């Protein structure tokens, strides 16, 4: 495969989406242990918006180009890469650089397209599946027969969490911001969806799960913290993955943590090492990809934009009117 010297990619000026534009720049070269992917589709995620706003800088050595997940074909192999070939169809969790025609990715962060998938559906997987697996299942230790509350049930992470938890035999409750979104949560596998605009999720859970839930996956933070603790069962686990309403609370009573033997944990994905991300990928390949191959779970794609309209994709993301994933297409 003859590679071009340049590629199209999205650049941005920190601030609003109007500062995003399509430009041409040099092709990245895959380093040792990396593959170069010719991108067909890329996912749009909340961390992309935070990076554009200037609040989430890429880690040292990572591409400054936006984009944390892609799908396409391997175009070149870096030194020491084995088990893959040029032309292989992969999806990948990137360290940045996904809003582009080509991106270099550590090979351990690549996974094959599930059976029957095209590039669009495959590109909608990595960021949310890596995040949900690492947080809900590894850190949160959710198991079959347990109960969980997923906040933001129709976000990309929420959709994945509901589907995977249901597939692994857990009972799921979810919060969402409209009747339409609540209905979508139930269709995805939630036993009960709670409209946070008209209902108090803590009061609802006290009725439907009086002993509390075993795990809460929270991306809201701030005003939810105290109610989250009230909703947890004995030995419950609160897992934090984002703070859409702030990371600080003015008052916090740790007595509940002690009396219920609670665990409060959380993590971020992007700063993890390539070795850590590769270990998550191996677990996904072994435990989750067979579920995707069988069709038991699948990404929900709300809207797709051409790469040149990345700003419009970000505007939709910031409106929170979507259910599921927002995607960018580079293959036509």
Q: What CATH number is attached to the domain comprising 176?
A: 3.40.50.720
**With left for phi above 0 and alpha for psi between -120 and 50, is residue 222 left, alpha or beta?**
left
In a domain, 294, yes or no: yes
Query: Digits of tens for pLDDT over the chain (332 positions)?
Result: 689 999 999 999 999 999 999 999 999 999 999 999 999 999 999 999 999 999 999 999 999 999 999 999 999 999 999 999 999 999 999 999 999 999 999 999 999 999 999 999 999 999 999 999 999 999 999 999 999 999 999 999 999 999 999 999 999 999 999 999 999 999 999 999 999 999 999 999 999 999 999 999 998 777 888 899 999 999 999 999 987 776 777 777 889 999 999 999 999 999 999 999 999 999 999 999 999 999 999 999 999 999 999 999 999 999 999 999 999 999 75
What pLDDT is stored for residue 243 in this prediction? Answer: 78
pTM above the 0.75 mark? Answer: yes
In a domain, 1, yes or no: no
Residues of the chain with pLDDT > 90, as a percent, come to 91
Give rounded-to-5 percent helix, strand, coil for the chain. Answer: 35, 30, 40
Strand partners, 70: 42, 92
In a domain, 210, yes or no: yes
Pair 191, 149: CB distance under 8 Å: no
What are the strands, taking DSSP E only, across 151-307?
171-176, 192-195, 213-218, 232-240, 263-266, 301-306
The alpha-carbon radius of gyration of the chain (Å, integer) is 20
Q: Are residues 261 and 134 part of one domain?
A: yes
Q: Are residues 189 and 77 part of one domain?
A: no
Whole-angstrom Cα distance, residue 46 to residue 25? 25
Pairing type for strands 34-44 and 325-329 reads antiparallel
In a domain, 13, yes or no: yes
Pair 195, 215: CB distance under 8 Å: no
Residue ending a domain, choose from 236, 266, 296? 266
What pLDDT is stored for residue 1 in this prediction? Answer: 64
Q: Are residues 142 and 258 part of one domain?
A: yes
What is the tally of structural domains in the chain? 2
In angstroms, the Cα distances linking 231 to 95, 142, 157, 209, 235 are 35, 16, 21, 9, 12
Q: Are residues 297 and 218 part of one domain?
A: no
Q: Are residues 165 and 64 part of one domain?
A: no
Q: Are residues 195 and 79 part of one domain?
A: no
In a domain, 133, yes or no: yes
Q: Are residues 237 and 325 part of one domain?
A: no
Q: Are residues 321 and 234 part of one domain?
A: no
Q: Are residues 60 and 164 part of one domain?
A: no
Tens-place pLDDT, residues 178-214: 999 999 999 999 999 999 999 999 999 999 999 999 9
Q: Are residues 102 and 19 part of one domain?
A: yes
Which residue range is the domain that position 213 belongs to? 129-266
Pair 264, 240: CB distance under 8 Å: yes
As given in the structure block, the two tokens for residue 297 are 């779970």
Q: Are residues 185 and 111 part of one domain?
A: no
In a domain, 86, yes or no: yes
Q: Are residues 231 and 142 part of one domain?
A: yes
Tens-place pLDDT, residues 228-263: 999 999 999 999 998 777 677 777 788 999 999 999
Averaged pLDDT score across all residues of the chain: 95
Residue ending a domain, choose from 266, 281, 311? 266
What are the strands, taking DSSP E only, across the chain?
6-12, 20-26, 34-44, 69-77, 89-93, 102-106, 110-112, 147-150, 171-176, 192-195, 213-218, 232-240, 263-266, 301-306, 325-329
* Among 206, 204, 140, CA closest to 168: 140
Compute the Cα dihedral for 86, 92, 97, 101 and give only its sign.
Answer: positive
Residue ending a domain, choose from 251, 266, 281? 266
Q: What CATH number is attached to the domain comprising 323?
A: 3.90.180.10
């Amino acid at each position: 495969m003859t590679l071009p010297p340049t590629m199209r990619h999205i650049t941005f000026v920190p601030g609003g989406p109007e500062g995003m534009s399509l430009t041409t720049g040099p092709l990245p070269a895959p380093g040792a242990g990396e593959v170069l992917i010719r991108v067909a589709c890329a996912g749009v995620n909340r961390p992309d918006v935070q990076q554009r706003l200037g609040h989430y800088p890429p880690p040292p050595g990572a591409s400054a180009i936006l984009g944390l997940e892609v799908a396409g074909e391997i175009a070149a192999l870096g030194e020491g890469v084995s088990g893959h070939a040029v032309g292989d169809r992969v999806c990948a969790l990137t360290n940045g650089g996904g809003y582009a025609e080509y991106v270099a990715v550590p090979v351990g962060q690549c996974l094959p397209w599930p059976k029957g998938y095209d590039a669009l559906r495959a590109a909608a997987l990595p960021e949310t599946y890596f995040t949900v697996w690492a947080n809900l299942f590894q850190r949160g230790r959710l198991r079959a027969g347990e109960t969980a509350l997923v906040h933001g049930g129709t976000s990309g992470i929420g959709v994945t969490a509901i589907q995977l938890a249901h597939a692994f035999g857990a009972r799921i409750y979810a919060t969402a911001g409209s009747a339409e979104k609540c209905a979508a949560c139930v269709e995805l596998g939630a036993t009960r969806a709670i409209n946070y605009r008209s209902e108090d999720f803590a009061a609802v859970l006290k009725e439907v799960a009086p002993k509390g839930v075993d795990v809460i996956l929270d991306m809201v933070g701030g005003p939810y913290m105290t109610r989250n603790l009230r909703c947890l069962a004995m030995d419950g686990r609160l897992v934090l993955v984002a703070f859409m309403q702030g990371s600080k609370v003015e008052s916090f009573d740790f007595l509940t943590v002690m009396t219920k033997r609670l665990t409060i944990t959380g993590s971020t994905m992007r700063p993890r090492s390539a070795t850590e991300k590769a270990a998550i990928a191996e677990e996904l390949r072994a435990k989750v990809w067979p579920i995707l191959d069988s069709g038991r779970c699948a990404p929900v794609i709300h809207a797709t934009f051409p790469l040149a309209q990345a700003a419009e994709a970000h505007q939709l993301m910031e409106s929170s009117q979507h259910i599921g994933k927002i995607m960018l297409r580079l293959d036509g």
